[in-house]
Amino acid sequence: MSEIDASQTARRLERVVSFRLSAADHAEYEKLIAASSLRPSEFFRSVILNHQVEIVVRKADATSIKRLLFLSNKISNNLNQIARRLNADNLAGVISEQTYRLALEELHSISFFMKAYLDDVD
């Protein structure tokens, strides 16, 4: 097997990647391909594999942020109700001190992880 045959075998193109475009985007796509003088597959391999691409990070939409805020408020309210009930039951002697402390630790953990998650939201 020649050196050229070996390199072609090692780089066999086996995976297909496809995507959809609007009519306007497709027209722009056609212009780019024509200007590049490459076949479409060659063009995209060049762009992707040579890191000739600008990645645009989309911000979360307002609806998603509102939903997240709504859910976090509901969770916070539920945690507060549980904490109040635990405190009342502890003062009334309904639950043991150990149960009270373990439950409070769990509530603190949930609160901590929830806040840490929300800190990552834009």
The residues spanned by each domain of the chain are 18-56, 62-119
> At residue 109, does pLDDT exceed 90?
yes
**63 vs 73: CA distance, rounded Å:** 15
SS3 1: coil
| C-alpha span between 36 and 101 (Å, rounded) | 68
Structure confidence by residue, pLDDT tens digits, 79-99: 999 999 999 999 999 999 999
At 54 the pLDDT is: 56
pLDDT, position 1: 47
Q: Are 100 and 90 in contact (CB under 8 A)?
A: yes
Tokens of 34: 């024509």
Rg (CA), the chain: 29
Q: 14 — phi, psi (to 5°)?
A: -115, -20
Query: What pLDDT, in 10s, does the model give residues 21-80?
Result: 899 999 988 888 888 777 888 888 888 887 765 555 567 678 888 888 899 999 999 999
Q: Which structure tokens are listed for 4?
A: 């050229």
Query: Which residue type is seen at 66?
Result: K
Distances (CA, A) of 62 to 13, 57, 67: 41, 15, 9
Q: Are 114 and 72 in contact (CB under 8 A)?
A: yes
DSSP conformation class of 42: H
